[in-house]
Every structure is written in structure tokens, then in C-alpha cells.
Structure 1
Amino acid sequence: MRKQMLEELGLLPRWERRSLSSSVQHVAEPEVSEQPILPSQAATASAIVPQPPLNEAVIAKMSWQNLQEIVSTCQQCALAAERTQTVFGVGDREADVFLVGEGPGSEEDRQGEPFVGPAGKLLDAMLASIELRRGQGVYIANIVKCRPPQNRNPQPEEARVCLTYLRRQLALVKPRLIVALGGVAAANLLQNDVSVGKLRQRLHDYEGTPLVVTYHPAYLLRAPSEKRKSWDDLRLIRRLIASTP
């Protein structure tokens, strides 16, 4: 089973096992650039039903049920006008690992669950390679809960609204480790525009919770040569899970 998982990742040939007790080191190397982390495109102007601004103090006290209800009817930005449904998140609500992606794609918008297309299949294989699985010890969500048109990057204002919801999800789950999948997730969680290549293989902090950055599975599908680096990141995640109390 493990061999099959590694074959799906394209990692079986010539990979070398490293000691899990070795310290994490960052080695500078040329990177294949991802798409721009912070989008500059203008948001699509769409008519939405106005809502009063989010009360972050109220959301910070919400239960899972109340939070999911308010997300499902959210009209705080233009993305609401074109969605089929919101994509709240899925997984173990007491997870050790909280994965954060960018935003829903067309299939996610249709099914209401994050990472269900080809990138989702690759993500499942990545998790399985370090003995994790969707729904067991893992929670998955995105920076934004609605699909951006043409799968563009979320606009800053769209992300700002949804980060209020995501922050509450993180507080409810209380993960031991956050994993930012790709540049958009990293930029919004860490509030910088540093490339994934420079952020990966380092331990960051998000409001007191350890955070690591790795490539988005969709990016790996476009740049399969980067799977080797992703495997290094997965091994780092495995070590951190084992060592974090």
C-alpha cells in the first residue's frame, strides 16, 4: 500500500530515507515559481444582498453549528453571487493537523467539500504517505469559502472576510500543526509575499500554533518535478507531529 502511494506521488525511484531525528535545515536552491501569491486582478462586480459587517467578537464565540450556518448564507463579498454553495471545510474536528488551501474549484463548488478533484486525489496520496488520512487526525479548509471566478486567486478583501471564519475554525480544532498549501494560503496566514520556495522547510508561527508551508497539490500536478521537495516537506510534517506535545 505504501509503495503504491509513493508511486502516485512520483517519489518511489531514488528517494533516500533520512533520520526523523535530524534537525530541519533550509538549503537555498532555485525554485520553480508558483503563480503570484497576492492577486492583483479586480474582483468581478456582482450584485449581492448587502449584509452588515462581520462582528468578529461574536464569531470568535460561535459553535461549529452556528459558524457553519453563517458561512452557508454569507454575502459579505462578490464571490457569493456566483457560487453554487459554500465550501466550509471537512475532517476531524479534533485534528492534530489543519491543512489550509486556497479556495474551492469547480468540483469543490459542486460538491461542497474541499480538495475533491485531481488535486484532492494527490493530497490524499500525500497524506497517506506519512500515515495520515482525510477525516482522521486531519482537518481541511481553504482561505475562502466560495469559488473565485475562473479559479483566480482570492482578492484581499475576499480573503479578509473569510479569514474571520477560518480563524474560528482553527480555534475550535486547536491543531498541533497548521500546513499552508501553496502561496495564497501562506501569504494570507503569514501576512507576507515571500515565495513558497523560501518559506518551506522552516517552522513558522500562526497566533501561537506552529505552521509549515509546502506546495499546493494543484501546483505539483503542473510541476511534477517539484514532488521531490514536497516529499521532504511531508517528512518534516511527520517529524513535527511526532515531536509536538
Structure 2
Amino acid sequence: MAWTERQRRMLAEMGLPPWLAPAAAPDEPTDAPAPEPAAQPAAPSPTQPQAAAPVVPAPAPQAQVAPMGAPANRPAGAVAMLDWTGLRDAVAACTACGLCESRTQTVFGVGNRSAEWMIVGEAPGEQEDRQGEPFVGRSGQLLDNMLLALGLSRAEGAADRQVYIANTLKCRPPGNRNPTADELARCEPFLVRQIELIKPRIILAMGRFAVQSLLRSNEPIGRLRGRVHHYQGVPLVVTYHPAYLLRNPLDKARAWDDLCLAAETAAAAAAAAPAPG
């Protein structure tokens, strides 16, 4: 691939030589603690007769996540009918889960509402909670540099050169802990409605919880990236979250490949779209 001068500057900012070829991607680690081992029954006393082991029924199978590509829930109730102003107001006033008690403010989203690119992250962190904007701080700077290399920006500009950025959750979990399944489910209608209103040409899902929410898949990031998925008919590309890349800089090469795949997919979708009028 021939790198432009802008792309070379971006890769240098990321600490990545442009000729570096990525190796096989490992699975993205999770922050969940390892499960505790199950307690073992005490050995019977040698002076007591050993009773026959009771017959224990097999446990019921656990509910499985819907297969990859299954559509997300439709916006619940009145959320499905909200315009942008009403949706923002509904998010700001939301008390559907306990996160409303600890947030400084909600983090609705930022960017051009007609943008062809939509980036979906996980949950707001401390800086996002303070500023009310997704992807700020070091992870936001890295994301901006990655987008800049593709000629994209969250700042004002043409819709085909802008992105709209939103999070799966609109409130910060205390201590930046992982979101719970209930929190994700209660917040999901807001994200679904955002996607419906934007009608993007490409969705870039960044991080495990964004991928699980949109694709209904528990597969690790490393196994889902590198190919195009679809969400409600919209092409979707999976990649690592910038916060993960800051902890694992060698995976920046793979993230850059993902952005290139997304750019190629978006360009193909634009070329196939019918001419206006």
C-alpha cells in the first residue's frame, strides 16, 4: 500500500512504522475477574459408611446470545418516534438504571448528524462524564489521529468527511467498571434510534461491549475483525477500542487495517448508492 504524507504522520503519531506487517491477532483480553473454583465436597469419614451418591439432574442449558448478525432490539416505546431534540432530552432525563445516580452528566454523542461514518464506543469514562462528549482524553486523541489519516474528523465539515460518535452507554459506570447486561439493555434503544436517524454508510464498532450490543456476539474482537459484518443492513467493521490500543500499542497496526477496510467499504457503498434526484 502506498502511504500518503498525512497517513505517514498519523502512523508516526501512533508509534507505528508504515511498513510494519501485523501478525496474527490475539483475542482481546477482558477485565472480568476469573471465576472462583467450585467448592469440593468433603471426603467421607472412614468410620462412617459411605452413602450412595445422589442423582443430580443435569443443569439447564444457559441462554445463549443471539447469533452474530441478529438485529438489535427496536427502540422501546416512545423512543422510536423521537427526533434529535427529543432524543437528546430523553437521554439527559433518563433514570432507567442506577447509573443516573452517579453520573455528572449524560454523554449523548458528537458529530455531523448526516455523517456517512458512525463510530460506536463502549461507555463513557471519567473525562467523558465531565465534558459530556465521547472519546476525549488520550483515547480521544488517538482516535482523532487515526481518523485524520483517512481525512475524517468529528469537527464541522462535509458529511462525507465527518463522523458521528456515540457510546453504547450514555452514562459512566462508577470507577469505569464494565457495564452490566441490564444497563446495556436499558440504554440500547437510544443508540438504536441514533443509528436510525443518522443512516450511516458504515459503522465502526470499537470495543467488546459495542460489538456485543450491535452484533449480538460473544466472539472475541480478534476473531470478528478483518471482515465486514452488517447491522440492520448497514456495513459494520469491528476494531479495538483506543483505550485498549494505548495499553497494547502493537495492535495499532491491526486497528489501522480495520480503518482501511472500513474506508474501502464506505467508498464502495457510496459508489453503489443511487444518484440523488
Q: Normalization by structure 1: what TM-score?
A: 0.84
Letter matched to residue 117 of structure 1: G
Which residue number in structure 1 is paired with residue 11 of structure 2? 6
Is the contact between residue 34 and residue 183 of structure 1 (CA under 8 Å) also seen in structure 2?
no
Which residue number in structure 1 is paired with residue 60 of structure 2? none
Q: Alignment partner of 2:81: what SS?
A: coil
2:189 is the counterpart of 1:158? no
Whole-angstrom CA distance in 2 between matches of 1:13 and 1:238: 17
The Cα RMSD (Å) is 2.1
Letter matched to residue 12 of structure 1: P
Whole-angstrom CA distance in 1 between matches of 2:260 and 2:20: 12
Whole-angstrom CA distance in 1 between matches of 2:113 and 2:101: 29
Alignment equivalent of 2:24, drawn from 26, 29, 52 = 29
Whole-angstrom CA distance in 2 between matches of 1:244 and 1:30: 27
Which residue number in structure 2 is paired with residue 72 of structure 1? 92
Which residue number in structure 2 is paired with residue 98 of structure 1? 118
Whole-angstrom CA distance in 2 between matches of 1:215 and 1:30: 11
Is the contact between residue 11 and residue 18 of structure 2 (CA under 8 Å) also seen in structure 1?
no
Distance 1:13 1:243, change over 3 A: closer
Is the contact between residue 36 and residue 183 of structure 1 (CA under 8 Å) also seen in structure 2?
no
Whole-angstrom CA distance in 1 between matches of 2:232 and 2:18: 39
Which residue number in structure 2 is paired with residue 176 of structure 1? 201
Is the contact between residue 27 and residue 223 of structure 2 (CA under 8 Å) also seen in structure 1?
no
Q: Alignment partner of 2:244: what SS?
A: helix
Whole-angstrom CA distance in 1 between matches of 2:231 and 2:23: 23
Structure 2: runs of 5 or more not aligned? 36-74, 271-277
Structure 1: runs of 5 or more not aligned? 17-26, 41-54
Q: Alignment partner of 1:244: what SS?
A: helix
Q: Higher Cα Rg: structure 1 or 2?
A: 2
Cα shift readout 1:164-201 (whole Å, capped 9, x = no counterpart): 00011001100001110011110111111000000001
Q: Normalization by structure 2: what TM-score?
A: 0.75
Is the contact between residue 126 and residue 172 of structure 2 (CA under 8 Å) also seen in structure 1?
yes
Is the contact between residue 77 and residue 158 of structure 1 (CA under 8 Å) also seen in structure 2?
yes
2:85 is the counterpart of 1:85? no
Count residues in correspondence.
Answer: 220
